[in-house]
Amino acid sequence: MTKKIWAQLSERLEKIVGKNSFQTWIKPLNFISYEDGLLELTVTTRFQGDWVSRNYGDEIKGQAMRLGLKIDRIEFKIKDNQISLTEPEKSLPQVPTKVQTLSNKNTLGASLDSRFTFERFVVGKPNELAHAAARRVSTGDSAAFNPLFLYGGVGLGKTHLMHAISVELQHMSPDLKVVYLSAEQFMYRFIQALRDKQMMNFKEIFRSVDVLMVDDVQFIAGKESTQDEFFHTFNALIDQKKQIVISADRAPGEIDGLEERIRSRLQCGLVVDLHPTDYELRLGILQEKVQNYRLKYTDLDIANGVLEFLAHKITTNVRVLEGALTRLFAFSSLVGRQITLDMAQESLADILRASDRKVTMDEIMKKICHYYNVRMSDLLSPRRSRNIARPRQMAMYLSKNMTSRSYPEIGKQFGNRDHTTVMHAVKKIEELKSQDSQVSDDAELLRRMLEA
Ligand code: ADP
Ligand code: MG
């Protein structure tokens, strides 16, 4: 095949897949080479390649056949001079200065992690609400849920769900302009537009999307002009009844440095949280990963009890859990033997050690009482004298930092205090730590004792 034949072939494909899909998926592909049944094409993103091969691979092969060419395999090379909204920050300086490039639909909807689909999202009690809400939004019929605000600790699946919504929407309605980006990327785009005097363009582009998803919105807390622009974009889209999905690592009310008007707008849709995983969910996720891995590598052999062991031991975050499993896969393929409990314990020693101790608020409070020689009832009481208030603040600070409890949950444990009291306490200790070596020593020592 030559470039010319590829052009012929794409012409045929256009008739088959339709103009819209053709523009979105086939047209951006560029011919690289054809040899020994292997066709190589460029794509903008890995996601685009996966999509094309899944949805149009057979058509491409079929049409080639009609032109007298046999294609056994299609491979996609990522074109690196393309920009994408979701590229990591470090590649931003190379981005072309014209913000117009953003309006190219491929670059907008692309760059999603192809593993992050609903099919591969394991649902359990801790995430069922968030999952259901995301599902609902992904049907495109969601006027009631605008904005959808997803929050929860690191590695609990926020990004996964947002990508899944995006993939699903694009699949159902390829003409929909779905934009997914992190708040950080939003800020960089904004700064870049300011610098290049492309603000009109920037505004136009972001106001013309059908669905806007902004991940990790806590990032723009305290960044005033970015927040301002975000607020205007947000309002313009909501007014047009366009769907917005936002994620953050905590509830809108807990994001310090977020303007009140944004906070209240974020709260006016549906706010759902992803709770820390429980044992069943972790086991489910591990089983899903193993099953998926087996599709590719059939000889994977895991002894009974290994997954249960991991689900029991690694409780912090799903990313760590996945990392552990990946390491086991790599080990077993290297040494070519069964993954046993011994092997898991040995090869994951560092991860297991880090996850070994899970501190509870109860332990923290007891330790604080002992360390500062105060009574538990004092910690819970409304008393505000310094010799009690300081230990209480320290306990709140440690609770926030060493457990996955939220501000309101911590407040509740400390004699039903308001979450703003806890926020204040955390901030206070953080301030003191940098000014008062006694406080920073105390904090460090307590942390070590609790981790031991
Ligand atoms: P967050 O954005 O909340 O920090 P991510 O969405 O990046 O977390 O998830 C971290 C990793 O854990 C990803 O690889 C994701 O696929 C996986 N993961 C999290 N929750 C689930 C789940 N319920 N089912 C399957 N995989 C999950
Ligand atoms: Mg994330």
**Position 141 confidence tier, pLDDT thresholds 50, 70, 90:** confident
CA angle 286, 290, 293 (to 5 degrees): 140
| Count of domains forming the chain | 4
Shortest-distance Cα residue to atom 19 of ligand 1: 157
With cut-offs at 50, 70 and 90, classify the pLDDT of residue 53. Answer: confident
121 shares its domain with 269: yes
With cut-offs at 50, 70 and 90, classify the pLDDT of residue 335: confident
Q: Which residues contact 343 (CB under 8 A, 6 or more apart)?
A: 328, 331, 332, 337
The closest of 116, 135, 125, 119 to 283, measured between CA atoms, is 125
Evaluate whether residue 349 is within a structural domain: yes
Beta strand ranges found along 36-163 (DSSP E): 38-43, 73-78, 148-152
Same domain flag for 148 and 233: yes
Atom 14 in ligand 1: residue holding the nearest Cα: 319
Residues 351 and 365 in one domain: no
Residue 382 has pLDDT above 80, yes or no: yes
Contacts 24+ apart (CB under 8 A), 447-451: 447/398, 447/401, 447/402, 449/367, 449/371, 450/357, 450/359, 450/363, 450/364, 450/367, 450/398, 450/402, 451/357, 451/359, 451/402
Confirm whether 94 is domain-assigned: no
The answer to whether residue 233 sits within a structural domain is yes
Residues 174 and 256 in one domain: yes
* Lining residues, ligand 1, CB within 6 Å: 116, 120-122, 127, 152, 154-160, 285, 288, 318-319, 322
In a domain, 416, yes or no: yes
- pLDDT score for 388: 94
Is residue 114 a contact partner of residue 46, using CB atoms and an 8 Å limit? Answer: yes
Q: Clarify whether residues 261 and 285 are in a common domain.
A: no
Q: Confidence band (pLDDT; 50, 70, 90) for 331?
A: confident
Does 331 lie in the same domain as 202? no
Give 322 Cα–ligand 1 centroid separation in angstroms: 9
| CATH number, domain with residue 415 | 1.10.1750.10
- Please compute Rg for the chain using Cα positions: 26
**Mean predicted confidence (pLDDT) in 292-307:** 87
Residue with tokens 């092969």: 61
Indicate if the pLDDT at residue 48 is higher than 80.
no
- At 295 the pLDDT is 85
Position 96 in a domain:
no
Which of 250, 273, 296 is at the close of a domain?
Answer: 273
Q: What does the mean pLDDT of the chain come to?
A: 85
Question: At 434, is the pLDDT very low, low, confident or very high (cuts 50, 70, 90)?
Answer: confident
Whole-number Å distance, alpha carbon 160 to ligand 1 midpoint, is: 5
What's residue 144's pLDDT?
61
Could you tell me the pTM of the whole model?
0.63
Is the pLDDT at 7 greater than 50? The verdict is: yes
Specify whether 223 is located in the same domain as 186: yes
- Is there a single domain that holds both residue 309 and residue 173? no
**pLDDT higher than threshold 60 for residue 85:** no
Q: Does residue 15 fall inside a structural domain?
A: yes
- Establish if 67 belongs to a structural domain: yes
Main-chain phi, psi angles of 311, to 5 degrees: -60, -30
Burial (CB count within 10 angstroms: exposed 0-12, middle 13-18, buried 19+), residue 94: exposed
Look up residue 438 and give its amino acid.
Q
Q: Among the atoms of ligand 1, which is closest to the Cα of residue 156?
A: 3
pLDDT at 108: 42
262: CATH? 3.40.50.300
How many other C-beta atoms are found inside a 10 Å radius of the C-beta of residue 186? 24
Express each pLDDT in 173-227 by its tens digit. 888 899 999 998 899 889 988 999 989 988 988 999 999 999 999 999 989 999 9
Q: What is the pLDDT of residue 97?
A: 30
Instruction: Write the DSSP symbol of residue 435.
Output: H
Between 35-39, 79-83, 210-214, 307-311, the lowest mean confidence (pLDDT) is in 79-83
Which of these three, 84, 116, 150, is where a domain ends? 84
Is residue 286 in a domain? yes
Supply 20's token pair. 């819209």
**Domain end residue (candidates: 355, 379, 401):** 355
Two structure tokens written together for 135: 């599902």
Same domain, 144 and 77: no
143 and 252 part of one domain? yes
Q: What is the mean pLDDT of residues 341-369?
A: 87
Confidence of residue 337 (pLDDT cuts 50, 70, 90): confident
Cis link prior to 96 (omega < 30° from 0)? Answer: no
Range(s) of the domain holding residue 61: 3-84
Measure 121 CA to ligand 1 centroid, in angstroms.
Answer: 8
- My answer on whether 48 and 197 are in the same domain is no
